[in-house]
Structure 1
Amino acid sequence: MSMIFFASVVRVRDGLPLSASTDYYHTQDFLECRRQLKTLALHLAHYPGRGSAESRDFSVHFSSSGDVACMAICSHQCPAAMAFCFLETLWWEFTASYDTTCIGLASRPYAFLEFDSIIQKMKWHFNHVSSSQINSSLEKVQEELEFQPPVVLTLEDIDVANGMMNGHTSVHLEPAPNFRMEPVTALGILSLVLNIMCAALNLIRGVHLAEHSLEVAHQEIGNILAFFIPFVACIFQCYLYLFYSPARTLKVVLMLLFICLGNVYLHGLRNLWQILFHIGVAFLSSYQILTRQLQEKQSDCGV
Structure 2
Amino acid sequence: MHGFLSSEGVSYMTVCACSLPAATAFCFLEDLRWEFTACFDNSAVALASRPYPFLEFDSGIQKLQQHYNQKGGPSLEVTLAEVQEDLRTSPPQVLTMEDVALTNGAANGHVEQTAGSGQSQRLEPVSAPGILSLILNIMCAALNLIRGVHLIEYTFQDDYDGVWNVVAFLLAFLCCVCQCHLYLFHTCQKKLKSFTLLTLIILCNAFLFGLRNIWQLTFHMSVACLSTLLTLHRKLLDRNMDCGV
Q: Which of the five TM-score ranges fits, normalised by the shorter chain?
A: 0.5 to 0.7
- Give the drift of 1:265: 1.4
Q: Percent identity?
A: 47
Contact persistence 2:205–2:221 (CA under 8 A): yes
Contact persistence 1:63–1:87 (CA under 8 A): yes
Residues 185 and 134 of structure 1, relative CA distance in 2, 3 Å threshold: same
- Which of 160, 163, 168 lines up with 1:220 in the alignment? 163
Structure 2 counterpart of 1:181? 123
- Which of 35, 49, 58 lines up with 1:104 in the alignment? 49
**CA distances 1:216-264 after superposition (whole Å, capped 9, x unpaired):** 978734x455345434433443243234456655543443232222212
1:192 aligns with 2:122: no
1:297 aligns with 2:239: yes
Structure 1 counterpart of 2:12? 70
Matches within 5 A, 1:23-62: 59-62=1-4
Amino acid across the alignment from 1:73: V
From the two aligned structures, give the one with the greater helix fraction.
Answer: 2
Find the aligned partners of 1:224 and 1:79 in 2 and give their Cα distance: 81
Find the aligned partners of 1:230 and 1:111 in 2 and give their Cα distance: 55
Amino acid across the alignment from 2:25: A
Residues 133 and 97 of structure 1, relative CA distance in 2, 3 Å threshold: closer
Structure 2 counterpart of 1:51? none
Structure 2 counterpart of 1:156? 98
Residues 112 and 164 of structure 1, relative CA distance in 2, 3 Å threshold: closer
- Give the drift of 1:284: 3.0
- Give the drift of 1:104: 0.9
**CA distances 1:57-84 after superposition (whole Å, capped 9, x unpaired):** xx33233345643333334333333323
- Give the drift of 1:197: 4.2
Find the aligned partners of 1:232 and 1:266 in 2 and give their Cα distance: 16
Unpaired runs of 5+ in structure 2?
none
Structure 2 counterpart of 1:18? none
Residues 129 and 287 of structure 1, relative CA distance in 2, 3 Å threshold: same
Structure 1 counterpart of 2:222? 280
Residues 243 and 71 of structure 1, relative CA distance in 2, 3 Å threshold: farther
1:237 aligns with 2:182: no
**CA distances 1:96-143 after superposition (whole Å, capped 9, x unpaired):** 48954884146xxx9988876665554443344223766834445445
Contact persistence 1:179–1:297 (CA under 8 A): no
**For the aligned residues, what is the CA RMSD?**
4.6
User: Structure 2 length normalisation: TM-score?
Assistant: 0.63
Which structure has more relative contact order (CA 8 Å, sep 6+)? It is 1
From the two aligned structures, give the one with the greater strand fraction.
Answer: 1
Residues 76 and 282 of structure 1, relative CA distance in 2, 3 Å threshold: same
Q: What secondary structure does 1:63 align onto?
A: strand
Contact persistence 1:182–1:292 (CA under 8 A): yes
Amino acid across the alignment from 2:238: E
User: Structure 1 length normalisation: TM-score?
Assistant: 0.54
1:268 aligns with 2:210: yes
Residues 194 and 174 of structure 1, relative CA distance in 2, 3 Å threshold: same
